């Protein structure tokens, strides 16, 4: 399982999966870029000030690797509606390919499909 992810992409991807597992984030979510503010995840039910770094380039990298899919592209690029692919869940479950995909990772809770 190859992966060309940088550390900030791995951190964000792991965080998103964990928030979905905790039911603080729906499986389909929207990232908004508001004027003068850091990007936010609109539907996030947790502490919006305690999120990892989110940027267009980080999201682009996750999309390019097939871990996220953009469900809708807004005309103005101030928002992206995203969801995690099965490959995205697998990559987090296997700690980005460091664990055998058939060996369960007991260090974290079981991810959704």
Q: Which residues contact 3 (CB under 8 A, 6 or more apart)?
A: 65, 91, 96, 97
> pLDDT value at position 48?
79
> pLDDT value at position 60?
92
Give me the tens of pLDDT residue by residue for the chain, a chain 113 residues long. 446 899 999 999 999 999 999 999 999 999 988 876 788 888 899 887 788 989 989 999 999 999 999 887 666 678 889 999 999 999 999 888 775 555 554 555 554 44
Its CATH class, for the domain covering 7-93, is mainly alpha
pTM: 0.79
CB atoms within 10 A of CB 3: 14
Q: List the domain boundaries for the chain.
A: 7-93
Contact between residue 56 and residue 76 where contact means Cβ atoms under 8 Å apart = no
């Amino acid at each position: 399982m190859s992966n060309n992810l940088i550390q900030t992409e791995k951190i964000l991807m792991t965080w998103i999966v964990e928030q979905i597992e905790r039911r603080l984030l729906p499986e389909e979510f929207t990232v908004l870029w508001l004027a003068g503010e850091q990007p936010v995840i609109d539907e996030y039910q947790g502490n919006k000030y305690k999120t990892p770094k989110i940027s267009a380039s980080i999201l682009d990298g996750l999309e390019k690797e097939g871990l996220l899919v953009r469900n809708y592209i807004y005309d103005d690029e101030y928002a992206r509606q995203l969801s995690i692919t099965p490959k995205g869940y697998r990559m987090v479950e296997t700690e980005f390919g460091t664990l055998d995909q058939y060996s369960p990772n007991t260090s974290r809770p079981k991810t959704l499909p």
